Amino acid sequence: MLYEEITASSLVKIDIEGRTLLQPDHGYNVNVAGFYLHAPIHRARPDVNCVLHTHTRAGTAVSTLAEGLLPLSQTAMRFHGRIGYHDFEGPAIDRDECDRVVADLGRNNVLVLRNHGLLVCGNTIPQAFNAIYWLEQACRIQVDALGCGRPLHAPTEMAIGNTVTCFAGTEITLDNERDTNPVLNEAAQNLQAGYGLLEWPALRRRLDRIDGSYAQ
């Protein structure tokens, strides 16, 4: 099925052991590599309710670089020091590799699968989507910058650290800054909180305007 053809009712529902709980009447089954990559993370990380994995052009390009994701932009600095890396072992169809994937992810919510692609986790779907969206943008920025063939301006360690701290929680607005700004309130730092909840309703409204059939 093409992505544009998939709706909520066409999804196959399985449990963490791979047992089918709901099989729509379309004759398709679950991709083995998809299951082996996602299920072990859900089993090892009960705080994770959504795992997203992509093979985008920019994300895959950065996964091939020895340096991985560089803190060249504010967008990339959000993830600095919070990324795991897993060396490529071939398509993820080996049960033993699953344990190594989980170990390389650790308590991070972002994993770069070298020579493969990107993977993110989230407490919720909105938070996971926000992470993969901005991680992809960071990879695009890096590929563009490196492709210019010009000297790069490196931010200071202090600037990188400040940016990492600012993103160590939830969305900060004027009316909730006292409670959510990690710079002003160390207790507001929550690496598992993540951004994304604020934008999600607007993204759903936009998708409904484009084509609401996904929800069927």
| pLDDT tens for each residue of 94-143 | 778 888 999 999 999 999 999 999 999 999 999 999 999 999 999 999 99
Q: Is 89 helix (H, G, I), strand (E, B) or coil?
A: coil
Q: How many CA atoms lie within 13 A of 134 on its CB side?
A: 19
Q: What is the pLDDT of residue 198?
A: 85
Position 192 scores a pLDDT of: 64
**Mean pLDDT, residues 86-93:** 86
SS3 20: strand
Instruction: Determine the Cα–Cα distance for residues 201 and 196; give it in Å rounded to an integer.
Output: 10
Taking the C-alpha atoms of residue 79 and residue 14, their distance in angstroms, rounded to an integer, is 31
Mean predicted lDDT score pLDDT of the chain: 91
| Per-residue pLDDT, 167 | 84
Pick from 98, 94, 95, 124: nearest CA to 109 = 124
The one-letter amino acid at 208: D
User: Could you tell me the pTM of the whole model?
Assistant: 0.90
